[in-house]
Amino acid sequence: MNLKNVRRLLSYLKGSSGLVILSVLIGILFGAATVAIPYFAGKAIDNLRDTGYLINIIVNIIVLIITAAVLQFVLIKMNNRIAFSIGLKLRNEAYSKMHRVKMSYIDSTSAGSLQSLIISDVETVSDGMLLFLNQFASGIATIAITLAVMFYINWKISLIVVVFTPVSIAVASFIAKGSYKSFAKQSEIRSRQTAFVAESVNNFRECRLYNVTDVRIKGFDEINEQYQKTATKATFLSSISNPSSRFVNALIYAGVVFTGCISGIGGAITIGSLMSLLAYANQFMKPFNDLSAVYTELSDSFACLSRIFGHLDSPEIPVEKMPDELPDKDVRFDIEFKNVSFSYVEGRPVLKDISFKVGKGESFAIAGPTGCGKTTLINLLMRYYEPDSGDILINGRSIKDIPRSELRHYIGFVTQDTWLSDDTVMENIRFSGDHITDEQVFDACRKTGCDSFIRKLPKRYNEQIENERDDISGGQKQLLTIARAMASDPSIMILDEATSSVDVVTEDRIQKAVRELLNGRTSIIIAHRLSQITNCDKIVVIDNGTVSEIGTHEELIAGGGFYSRLYRSYISG
């Protein structure tokens, strides 16, 4: 168990400190009530002939039973509130953290792993905390008060319990250490399992298309078998903790019975007191059994907690100060890449000394073979990543001096991967902010041709849609993302393979709307279909991470270089 993580977890109790104190007090009272019952039962046995005294004792026992039941009910309700408020804070913080981490962290972490961490791991921690809160205060109080009463009744017999108690604790502690390692491994495999399932569901059609369903099933079976083995070991270790403690406790109980009987024969102890001591010997060890079981179960929670805190400690995007002046959104922008080099992995450069300039209002295309670094240039411009060296300027100002949120406020970005929120058509188009009016949404949809198929939907613009909906084609989804970019009225427009999922007829329909959108705006276009960029003001050709050529389509064709060969290959293909 990592004590640093425990202390950190306790810091989440700050808002519930009053409830925690009250929970501890109620736990102590509950422990005291349960401890008092055997004491009065022993007194009743020793005074069976005194009817009045016996009735009084029985009434006291009934009151204590009812009191204990009420206290336990209140304790459970209160601890539920405390434990799940911690879960609420952890889950909110973990989800919020996901939006502050660097893009490299998101790119290197599977969606399923993050999903498992935010949902399953936090739930496991909440359940562990609830179990701990329900047992800890009342358990400690029961142990302390029971021990005090036992010494009051007969200190010699009570010493047997005290001497052998460390043996029970040592056994439980030894088992718990082994189970923690197994639970940590179980948590890691569970994360991989969730990621594998999410990947299979998200790419279900591809799995069917390439007939790899049997391969995927086999892959899942392998992970599932690993999980079964690890979970079995962890559960076995956690389950033997309680029986092991109970075995030691049975030996202690036998010792109390033997010693008590000898003392009773010699008249050193009454029958009632002996019965109370026997009840206490059993009751004294029960909290140890419960706490040892809790400690073992907490191993799973602490393993999950380590993953959660690892996520919360991942590097964040630095907090940026808002500058005194920011460019007006209506001003035309030029963009300059100045000796930019970048590598995702140190020592393996993707871009090397890239330099070019996009003039104000120019349409600028980036061409080159797959994997040459075209999309990486856009990632740098959007500040998803920072260059290793060099700089990117907008109107002569480094984008490092413009906060990311403001920089992206100027840019409309349509990617080759369509994504729609689980919301209405209207809210998907208005995704960038509520400042976009209904009329702006309608106008953007008319320009892109979305309006015609939206009006065929049952609820039109109020139709609920999401990314996996099958009755909306890939091309229609891409049209919706283009309309979303149009509605935001950006100063700079970036199209990254924006029409890759659109058929030729639909592509012709939106090209006019795209030209209208790009008119007067600085734009960068990436397209595998070279026919889409022939009318751009300039084309920069990237080959093997460096600038190969820059010019108009005609100039590059006349030059007979890499672009010319690429274009001839394209039109002959």
pLDDT digits (tens, 9 = 90+) for 359-387: 888 888 888 777 788 888 888 888 888 89
8 Å CB contact between 503 and 441: no
Confidence of residue 217 (pLDDT cuts 50, 70, 90): confident
416-427: pLDDT as tens digits:
777 777 778 888
Query: In the prediction, which pLDDT does 293 show?
Result: 63
Q: What pLDDT, in 10s, does the model give residues 501-546?
A: 556 666 666 666 666 666 677 888 887 667 677 778 888 888 888 8
**% of residues, the chain, pLDDT over 90:** 2
Is the pLDDT assigned to residue 70 strictly greater than 90?
yes
Backbone φ and ψ for 490, nearest 5 degrees, come out as: -80, 160
Q: At what angle do helices 51-98 and 17-46 cross, to 10 degrees?
A: 160
Answer whether residue 317 is part of any domain.
Answer: no
For residues 305 and 365, membership in a common domain is answered with: no
Give the torsion sign (CA, 81, 87, 90, 96): negative
> Among positive and negative, which fits the CA dihedral 313, 95, 16, 183?
negative
Instruction: Give the alpha-carbon dihedral of 248, 252, 254, 260, to 10 degrees.
Output: 180
The token pair at 534 is: 């022939």
Domain-ending residue, one of 312, 345, 368: 312
Do 276 and 155 have their domain in common? yes
Q: pTM above the 0.85 mark?
A: no
Which DSSP string do the residues of 484-536 spell out, in sequence order? HHHHT--SEEEEESTTTTS-HHHHHHHHHHHHHHHTTSEEEEE-SSGGGTTTS
Do 135 and 92 sit in the same domain of this protein? yes
Cα–Cα distance, 119 to 423 (Å, whole number): 22
**471 domain residue, yes or no:** yes
What's the CATH code of the domain at 208?
Answer: 1.20.1560.10
What's the rounded Cα separation, in Å, for the pair 392 and 389? 10
Single-letter amino acid, residue 559? G
Helix (H) / strand (E) containing 367? strand 363-367
User: From CA 77, how far away is CA 93, in angstroms rounded?
Assistant: 24
Give the mean pLDDT of 481-497: 82
What is the rounded average pLDDT of the residues 159-163?
75
The answer to which of 103-107, 210-214, 413-417, 454-458 has the lowest mean pLDDT is: 210-214
Q: Of 281, 312, 343, which residue sits at a domain end?
A: 312
End-of-domain residue from the set 312, 347, 380: 312
Q: Say if residue 491's pLDDT is above 70.
A: yes
Angle, helices 271-312/3-10, rounded to nearest 10 degrees: 90
Helix (H, G, I), strand (E, B) or coil at 363: strand
Domain containing 120 equals 17-312
d(CA 26, CA 211): 61
Pair 148, 228 in one domain: yes
For residue 316, the 8-state DSSP code is: B
What is the spatial distance between Cα 473 and Cα 476, in angstroms, rounded to a whole number? 5
C-beta of residue 120 within 8 angstroms of C-beta of residue 113: no
Is there a single domain that holds both residue 258 and residue 291? yes
Half-sphere exposure of 303 (CA within 13 A, CB side): 26
Give domain status of residue 179, yes or no.
yes
Domain check: are 506 and 419 in the same one?
Answer: yes
Residue 222: pLDDT above 80? yes
- The reply to whether 248 and 293 lie within a common domain is yes
- Give the CA dihedral 51, 52, 58, 62, nearest 10 degrees: 150
Whether 43 and 92 share a structural domain = yes
Q: Is 268 helix (H, G, I), strand (E, B) or coil?
A: coil
> How do residues 290-348 score in pLDDT, each as one tens digit?
666 676 667 778 878 888 888 888 888 887 777 666 666 666 788 889 999 998 888 88
Residue 366: per-residue pLDDT: 87
Task: Examine the domain organization and report whether 307 and 347 are in the same domain.
Answer: no
Give residues with Cβ within 8 angstroms of 355, minimum separation 6.
337, 338, 339, 340, 390, 547
What is the average pLDDT across 380-407? 86
Whole-angstrom distance, CA of residue 551 vs CA of residue 541 = 9
Mean pLDDT of the chain: 79
Confidence of residue 63 (pLDDT cuts 50, 70, 90): very high
Q: How many angstroms separate the CA atoms of 151 and 490, rounded?
A: 80
Q: Is residue 6 part of a domain?
A: no
In this structure, is residue 1 part of a structural domain? no
Q: Which amino acid is at 521?
A: R
Question: Is 303:184 a contact under the CB 8 Å cutoff?
Answer: yes
Residue 128 falls inside a structural domain: yes
> Which residue do the tokens 């659109």 mark?
502
CATH number at residue 536: 3.40.50.300
Mean pLDDT, to the nearest integer, of 405-425? Answer: 79
Residue 110 carries which side chain, given as an amino acid letter?
Answer: S
Q: Report the alpha-carbon distance of residue 72 to residue 29 in Å, rounded.
A: 10
Phi, psi of 270 (to 5 degrees): -80, 165
Q: Which has the higher per-residue pLDDT, 499 or 567?
A: 567
pLDDT score at 258: 76
Name the more confident of 410 and 237: 410
Task: Specify the higher pLDDT residue, 173 or 487.
Answer: 487
Whether 267 and 390 map to the same domain: the answer is no
- Tell me which residue has tokens 């952890």: 90
Q: How many domains does the chain have?
A: 2
Say if residue 68's pLDDT is above 60.
yes
Under the banding of pLDDT at 50, 70 and 90, the label for residue 66 is: very high
Residues 6+ apart with CB under 8 A from 33: 64, 67, 68, 71
User: How many other CB atoms are found less than 10 A from the CB of residue 367?
Assistant: 27
Q: What is the pLDDT of residue 436?
A: 81
Residue 383 gets which letter from DSSP? T
Q: Is the pLDDT of residue 201 over 80?
A: no
What are φ and ψ of residue 158, in 5° steps? Answer: -65, -30
192 and 104 inside one domain: yes
Q: For residue 299, give the amino acid letter.
A: S
Amino acid at 55: I
pLDDT at 210: 62
Average pLDDT over residues 115-120: 83
Kindly state whether residue 329 falls inside one of the protein's structural domains.
Answer: no
Question: Please, what's the largest Cα pairwise distance for the chain?
Answer: 120
Asked if the structure places residue 498 within a domain, the reply is yes
In this structure, are 344 and 447 located in the same domain? Answer: yes
